[in-house]
Amino acid sequence: MNNDTIEGKWKQLKGEAKIQWGKLTNDDLDVVEGHKDKLVGKIQERYGKSKEEAEAEVNRFWK
């Protein structure tokens, strides 16, 4: 699976992402569209995390 985008499976994974990061809105997840960098940015924005922290969480989620 491409590390930068999982667009094809994003509709399936949106629910799991919503459970993982409850502060993300449906609009946030629609904007992400399966792009890793966009998800990292939204997590940083909503949770006030560093880029490194958000990337680590997303990397665990992507696997």
| Full domain range(s) for residue 29 | 7-62
**Number of folded domains in the chain?**
1
pLDDT grade for 2, boundaries at 50, 70 and 90: low
Tell me the range of 3-7, 8-12, 47-51 where mean pLDDT is highest.
Answer: 47-51
Q: Which pair of structure tokens corresponds to residue 51?
A: 């880029």
Q: Which pair of structure tokens corresponds to residue 3?
A: 């590390």
**Euclidean distance between CA atoms 50 and 63, whole angstroms:** 20
Alpha helices per DSSP H over 1-63: 10-20, 26-32, 36-47, 51-62
CATH number, position 57: 1.10.1470.10
Asked whether residue 41 is assigned to any structural domain, the reply reads yes
Query: What average pLDDT does range 10-26 have in this prediction?
Result: 93
Asked whether residue 1 is assigned to any structural domain, the reply reads no
**Euclidean distance between CA atoms 1 and 24, whole angstroms:** 24
Asked whether residue 2 is assigned to any structural domain, the reply reads no
Q: pTM value? A: 0.86
